[in-house]
Chains A and B, each alone.
Chain A
Amino acid sequence: MRNLDNRKYTIALVFLLISVTFTVRLFYMQVVDGQWKERAAQISENKISTYPARGIVYDRNNVKIISNEIYYDIHVIPKQVKDVDSFKLAKLLDITIEKYSEKMAAAKDYSYRKSSEIVRQIPPNEFALIAPELYKYPGFFEVARTLRVYPKKIASHVLGYMNEASPADIEKDRYYKPGDYIGRSGIEKMYENYLRGQRGVKYYLQDAIGIPTSRYEDGKYDTLAVQGKNITLTLDWELQAYGEELMKNKLGSIVAIEPSTGEILAMISAPDYDPNLLVGRHLSKNYTKLQQDTLLPLYNRSISSKNPPGSTFKTLMALVGMQTGAITENSSFACNRSLSGCHNHPTARNVSDGVKMSCNPYFISLTRRIIQPGKVKSIFKDAALGMDVWAKHVKSFGIGEDLHTDLPSVVRGKVPTREYYDNEFPSKRNPYGQYRWAFSTIYSNSIGQGEVLTTPLEMANIAAAIANRGQFFYPHFIKEIEGEYLPDLYTNPVKTTIDTTYFRPVIDGMWRVVHEPGGTARRARIDSLNVCGKTGTAENFKMVHGKRIQMTDHSIFMAFAPKDNPQIAISVYVENSGFGGTWAAPIASLMIEKFIRGEISDKAKETRVLEANLIPDEDDYLKK
């Protein structure tokens, strides 16, 4: 018989071998190899963000103009749903039965035990009707979230709106996650980083389905959400609301600035819309409607439209003329209508007269002296040198320059320069070329009708610069950010190139425009308030089927008041309404009076403006 006893060793060896193998494997998995720890974390841990309340926005008098409101999403956990009357529920939630079925199917598809959204962003007033009924539908519940509310329903263009962060936003700033809201335009966009605050994170352990079961490490790594910063704007909500009221049924804009600080008191672009339209579940529907409106209610004319400044520009020509020595305060020019038309008026015997009567030939002659000072023999070279001087002075008023206004996509106007006429005018393909043009080519600029372009914001800034007698502050909306300092940018004055002394005759003329018989803006007069202003009429061309067609002029008025210690500088544009004195001037005066006195003395003037409908064509803009 063979000895089988040794086989016990074999068996014991097999047992030991397996144990050693297991031990080595376990050591590798548990101690050496990190991948399983990572994998375990990936499987069992997750985090949720906690969202802070977004910063509140106040007007200059500490009245809330942007605030937060709790909206409600309706969610469902399919597993908990019991014999639901779909038709009744769909009706309660104000959705179609098809939409309801579709959402329910998607929810079941996603998970039976996890919640899915059925309806999103129900405003509180609508939810008040749903809430008492909701308990009858097990499995359905509300999830609160805060959204923006604009209690005064004003300044839609300035305040802007928010929507969901796009993939591009997320790409740009990793802070954002799909589903987050981000300021899309206006102040909401400009001060996004202050307003949004800092999201908090809660780490938790989840079960196999993804439902949180407990906090991770007792919340050791959790962070608290940091409340967004409240900000105060320079806007005066009452003035803003009043301006919007005045601009009803009109196209155009109003920009009002406090000259002593550059604070923007009101910025109106008509037509506008109720900013609350772009909040909540109807956002995209409403946005599409607004976008398709031919009157462009989404377009902020105050900072985006460029027009020739018209006669308002004459004030600058007078200032530049005196500064360069081309004229003196008492220079007189005959009303020679060889280059332009004019209206019947007495001869302008000095700068003040010229401004008051807005005599076209006066300013053409004046500007000729600036552009063609006769220092060089060649009129072409002379014009080029003159143009450099002219452009420098005009630009110093901020036209075509960066005004550092705190709104996204502020458009700049344009000051034509020597280079512009050399290389780009009349067209880039076929320009005049160097020393091939002279004053006679560009004289229209003298009366604000040439190549010079200004935006309403720039126009208001010019008014502020004149009101301040030669300096301005960058126009801005921000007055205070909770716990932050404002940039020096907004507190340091910007000097124009014109000496203070030259402003007196121009301002005098502007006062006479409003207050003296024969002035072009008598409608801007306010009892016992010294308003200084200047009318303008921007010629308005529109491309229709490739042809340049002249439309009714835009009515412009630029003003400030009171004459001494000005409190408000303003520009008013009323599109397609003709001469500046007719509509723009009275609107400006109403705004001025509203701001300075808080009430309107001339009710007839107010009624005339409020009742006017100056929108050309059909009244097809969005009904609020």
Chain B
Amino acid sequence: MRNQENKIFANIDWTLFVIYIVLVLLGISNIYSSVYNPEKSNIFNLDTEHGKQIMWFGVSLFFGIVILFLESNFIRKYAYWFYGFTMFLLVAVLFTPPINGARSWFGFGSVGIQPSEFAKIGVALALSRFFDQAHSFSDRASSFNKKVGLSNLWGMVPFILKNKETALILGIPCVLVLLQPDAGTFIIFTSFILVLYREGYAGNMLLFMVIAIIIAVITLLVADSSFELPLTDIKLSGKAGIIITLVVLVGIFALLIKNFILKRNRKSLYKSLFGSLLVAVIFVNFIEVGYSNILQSHQKVRIDLLLGKIDDPDGDGYNINRAKAAIGSGGFIGKGYKQATLANAHQKHVPMQSTDFIFCTWSEERGFIGSFLLVSLYTFLLLKIVVIAERQRSHFTRVYAYCVGSIFFYHFLINVGMAIGLAPVIGIPLPFFSYGGSSMMSFSVLIFILIKLDSERKIVLQ
């Protein structure tokens, strides 16, 4: 028994553990600073946000220790069960009374639990388990890629059809969180694309995504506008303009292919070229219709604000304007601890300052030095997770590590990106920094499971 214990702690990645502890402690001190009230200056006061956050940290540590003492086989074995349990919670939460227009919370007195936070763990475990079983997955994926051609951008649809299990594991929670509705968590679930990518799925996926984002941004920019065709009186919508441009581009490529490519290769290139055009046109229409008809007005406004189509610092752009002012006013060295004048709980200039916009408090008080430190810490954490993933011999652990990395990456990307005006305003927490019990526990559990699985990297194959 003693031997067992030694083994557990012997192989723990202390670096990861220390980063985790540092982030949590910085996060708590940041919350303490932002809500500091001389009358409730005791940091452990449970009436305050920092007091509660410390309590949640304690609970998280407890779960963490429990996880460390579990058999890792137990985690593997019950991955689907846990997934099933979190999906059940996601269904059950739909029957609760809505809070702020969404059914996302189970309320227990003053404490609320957000099941979607734990669903991330469920999905991560389920995906790992699935890929672990499907050892030949990479082969299947690569043979598939070969068959339809690397340049084929529409590979996603047949791929998903072919890999029903993956689609199902990801699709169920996506649909369930959209029903709440909770767009933020939905976007977090798309982070698993990175995992799929690493596990051999369509290599051009990232290129595809970059092109898709460019086309989407252009489409959104011109969605409401129209222009006159040069030399004529014909008025065209912005969408038509994009499609015409795409057709012209494809025509130019076709001519290039005709003149510079060997005849025997031409046919497949033509095929993928025109196929891509078809996909692109469908995509443009999809974005345009989605933007105009499906998105709710406040979501449209957030996109318009991000793209700079509208500027309304005291109206629709209030949140982001205050957030940017708080961050920007921090200067190089910041205003100092407890010295934030915008992003604090008393002035309340920055809304949701202790949760979604917690980065503002940090940046305002710590300045660029602090911002840089925090960005570096997160980057270090992400890269550390990649390193950990890559040293695994267990397929399960590797996939799981990438899942954790992807989730953290997306949270970091969107939360910080939103605060500095590079991403749309989507209410998701910054791991270990944002106030909230559910996110603190779920992020901690994600990390501790990783630490546990990683600590057995040498045992697994023994």
Binding site for B on A (CB under 8 A): 1-2, 4-5, 7-8, 10-12, 14-16, 18-19, 21-23, 25-27, 29-31, 33, 35-37, 39-41, 43-45, 205-209, 213
Contacts and interface: CB of A to CB of B under 8 A. Distances in A.
B375 A26 contact: yes
A12 B325 contact: no
Contacts of B145: 2
A15 B402 CA distance: 12
Given A19-B375, A207-B347, 18 more contacts: A1-B138, A1-B139, A2-B145, A11-B402, A11-B405, A14-B206, A22-B375, A25-B420, A26-B327, A26-B375, A26-B420, A31-B331, A33-B328, A36-B329, A37-B331, A44-B341, A205-B341, A207-B346
Contacts of B329: 36-37, 39-41
Nearest to A10: B206
A170 to B, nearest CB: 25
Interface string B363-399: 1000110011001101100110010011000000000
Contact of A36 (B199, B200, B327): B327
A4 B195 CA distance: 12
A10 B416 CA distance: 22
Contacts of A15: 379, 382-383, 386, 409
Nearest to B332: A31
B324 interface: yes
B326 interface: yes
B351 to A, nearest CB: 8
B348 A207 contact: yes
Nearest to B382: A15
A8 B422 CA distance: 25
Contacts of B386: 8, 11-12, 15
B420 A22 contact: yes
A30 B368 contact: yes
Nearest to A207: B347
B11 interface: no
Contacts of B332: 30-31
A31 B372 CA distance: 12
A11 B194 contact: yes
Query: Which of B332, B349, B383 is most buried by chain A, counting CB atoms within 10 A of its CB?
Result: B349
B375 A23 contact: yes
B375 A8 contact: no
Nearest to B206: A10
Query: Which of B194, B341, B363, B405 is most buried by chain A, counting CB atoms within 10 A of its CB?
Result: B341
Contact of A23 (B197, B326, B346, B372): B372
A7 B197 contact: yes
A33 B416 CA distance: 18
Query: Which 8 A-B pairs have CB atoms at the shortest separation, nearest pair first?
Result: A36-B328, A40-B329, A19-B379, A30-B368, A40-B325, A39-B325, A208-B348, A26-B371
21 contacts: A4-B199, A7-B203, A10-B206, A11-B197, A14-B206, A18-B413, A19-B378, A19-B379, A21-B422, A23-B372, A26-B372, A29-B420, A30-B332, A36-B329, A37-B329, A39-B325, A39-B328, A44-B347, A208-B347, A208-B349, A208-B351
Contacts of B383: 12, 15-16
Nearest to A29: B328
A36 B422 CA distance: 16
B322 interface: yes
A552 to B, nearest CB: 68
A389 B26 CA distance: 96
Nearest to B321: A39
B414 to A, nearest CB: 11
Nearest to B417: A22
